[in-house]
Amino acid sequence: MVHTLFVARLTLNALGRDRVLHTLLGVSLVLLCLVPAFSLFSMRQVQELAVTLVLSCHALLLIFLAIFLGSSTLWRDLERRHTSLILGLPLSRSHYLLGRFFGVGLFLLLFSLCYALLAVIAVSVSATFYEADRPVIWMNLLAALGGDLLKAWLLAAVAFLFSTFSTSLFLPLFGTLAIYSAGSASQEVYEYLNSDFSSQISAGVRWLAEIFYWILPNLTLFDLKTQAVYSLPLDIPALIYPFIYGFVYTSLVLWGAEFFLSRRDLV
């Protein structure tokens, strides 16, 4: 565990010095400053539009960070043979892998915490322009931001999995992007196949689609934007189930990444 935390700290320090990430953080700050101005385009739903813009920007930035960092962090070490030096220490491959992932995960967490603080300020300022029918439920807003963070951790784990057996950066990048696209639409496809409108679809296609539904991550479980935007009641299962699902799925993906990494020639 000590070795894992050591690698995680090194990863976090390296990410903190990345100028590309500094630029992205600056862009997110500018976007949040523009939220009150853009929310005025809605005459009677200023607060709702502000929450929607805040959550949409957060989800987009986290997805980009998760795919980019998850794809490049481990793959760069493997291709440049940095692992030969690191693994020369009393450090197992599993501790190295988990340390790299925890470092990326901590960076995403710190980004979300800073973003959440600025988002609360942006929404509060926007809400003063026009009195909404319902006040903002801040716990719903934080829960929606947390759902995006769980999704980002899962996608980063998928990118790590692709990096363990890929010799090109394209597979981790576009493979994770494909998993994200399929996982975002899997629930809608599953519901359509079980509706009355899918009677003409063959049993083979239906069976194949259902297999992919259970294999691919169901990313819609982490979407709590509706409850945050319209201040709807948020029950406990809506919070617990995505957390358990994300933890189990991410753990299984990391186990697969450890399996492939343990069999890869790193010399």
Q: What's the average model confidence in pLDDT over 22-38? A: 79
The more confidently predicted of residues 87 and 94 is 94
Quick one: pLDDT at residue 34? 79
For position 122, what pLDDT does the model report?
86
pLDDT tens digit sequence for 229-254 = 887 888 887 788 999 999 999 999 99
- pLDDT 10s digits, 128-151: 777 767 788 889 899 999 999 999
Three-state secondary structure readout of the chain: CHHHHHHHHHHHHHHHCCHHHHHHHHHHHHHHHHHHHHHCCCCCCHHHHHHHHHHHHHHHHHHHHHHHHHHHHHHHHHHCCHHHHHCCCCCCHHHHHHHHHHHHHHHHHHHHHHHHHHHHHHHHHHHCCCCCCCCCCHHHHHHHHHHHHHHHHHHHHHHHHHHHHCCCCHHHHHHHHHHHHHHHHHHHHHHHHCCHHHCCCCHHHHHHHHHHHHHCCCHHHHCCHHHHHCCCCCCHHHHHHHHHHHHHHHHHHHHHHHHHHHCCCCC
Task: Give 210's pLDDT tier (boundaries 50, 70, 90).
Answer: confident
Query: Distance (Å, rounded) from C-alpha 3 to C-alpha 220?
Result: 35
What's the confidence (pLDDT) of residue 197? Answer: 67
Question: Which phi and psi angles does 122 have, rounded to 5°?
Answer: -65, -45
What are 174-197's pLDDT values in tens digits?
999 999 998 888 888 777 777 766
- In the chain, what are the domain boundaries? 2-262
Confidence band (pLDDT; 50, 70, 90) for 153? very high
How close are the terminal C-alpha atoms of the chain, in Å? 25
pLDDT at site 90: 62
Least confident of 4-8, 28-32, 164-168: 4-8
**pTM higher than 0.95:** no
pLDDT given at position 50: 86
| Closest among 248, 60, 63, 66 to 157, alpha carbons compared | 66
